[in-house]
Amino acid sequence: MQQGLLTPFKTAILDTGGSIIDDYLWDYGLDIKYTKNLMQNWGTVKDLFKKFVSKIRLTGLDLVVISHEKSKDKNDETIYDLDISGGGKQLLLRQADQIGFISKRDYKEGGKVITKTILTFWPTSTLPFCKNVAGLEDIVLPDCKSPEWEGFLDREVIQKTKDAIASMSEDQVTALNMIAEWRLTIDALDGDDDTILAKEITETYAEVAKLTPEHLKKQISAYFLVHLKKIGWKWDKTANENKGAFVNTKPVVAETKPVEQLKADGPVNTPTESESNPAALTEPKEDLFAPTTETK
């Protein structure tokens, strides 16, 4: 960049985002001694990556970042994520206008199964990091040896994204970015420690309840409640001495004991309805996120 080597080009492609953060910037941050220990170096890496992206944008270049994926299996689904560590990933998620995922899909055409390479930007439960500010539909990637491949990325993704954003107001772009960021925050609410998760859910609920404007608050709160249902949590107004609290309603898997141990334990108390059927816990009819008015 300092030598002006990128001046003739319209687009800079970074391959890969994980390499520049986990390898280059990590070592560079330690070499320039911005930090005194490894934990503090993550802050340095984030700062260096932010400066790098800002410099690219100042040149007028479009920036495309390629990332490997990492995945984990959960509830019979494979959840994908970007293979980028630390604050660099969060910075990229905030700044990117579009974040897509490339995969293979099988289609039946003329009695034959044809595998196509698909680029999608729509966020789903398995692709929570995706971002589709421009509202682009799924794209079939042409073969890299075909004539259609020439200029494909610029023609079908970059220019269409620019045109879509240019037609939006600043408020619309801000709103879409806000929704995308909150989706990532809400999707991260999960874990096996009920005490920690209950605290995180309660804190997130409090922050969502303060959001403005109201139409964005409704969209984000609706996504929040759907996510809670998906992970087996809900609001119970009778909990916490009738003050209300978010509780885990997933059935507890009973420990299997040998017959001798069961006899030694003695008779088992009959469970209440809420204990034997967690779904029977009372769910408030009122909108948890409805605005409240104070009576004086």
Q: What is the pLDDT of residue 195?
A: 87
Cα–Cα distance, 17 to 83 (Å, whole number): 8
CA 138 to mean position of chain CA atoms: 19
Query: What are 209-250's pLDDT values in tens digits?
Result: 888 777 778 778 878 888 888 888 888 888 888 788 888 887
Q: What is the pLDDT of residue 228?
A: 86
Q: What is the mean pLDDT of residues 178-201?
A: 84
pTM over 0.85: no
Query: Which residues are CB-neighbours of 218 under 8 A, at least 6 positions away?
Result: 289
Helix (H, G, I), strand (E, B) or coil at 183: helix
Q: What is the pLDDT of residue 120?
A: 92
Query: What are 35-92's pLDDT values in tens digits?
Result: 666 777 777 777 888 888 888 888 888 999 999 988 888 777 888 888 887 666 777 7
Burial 56-95 (b: 16+ CB within 10 A, else e): beeeebbbbbebeeeeeeeeeeebbebbbebbbbebbbee
Q: Where do the structural domains in the chain lie, given as residue ranges?
A: 1-96, 98-167, 189-296
Cα–Cα distance, 202 to 291 (Å, whole number): 17
Q: Which residue has the tokens 């080009």?
A: 9
Residue 90: what are its φ and ψ, rounded to 5°? -65, -40
DSSP string for residues in 69-128: EEEEEETTEEEEEE---HHHHHHHHHH-SEE-EEEEEEEEETTEEEEEEEEE----SS-T
Q: Please check the confidence at residue 125 and state whether its pLDDT lies above 60.
A: yes
Q: Other C-beta atoms within 10 Å of 100: how many?
A: 19
% pLDDT > 90, the chain? 12
Amino acid identity for residue 48 in this structure: L
DSSP strand pairing (11-15 vs 62-66): parallel
Nearest to 142 by CA among 173, 118, 177: 118
Q: What is the pLDDT of residue 76?
A: 77
Please report which confidence band the pLDDT of residue 157 belongs to, taking 50, 70 and 90 as the band edges: very high
Query: What are 158-175's pLDDT values in tens digits?
Result: 999 988 888 877 777 778
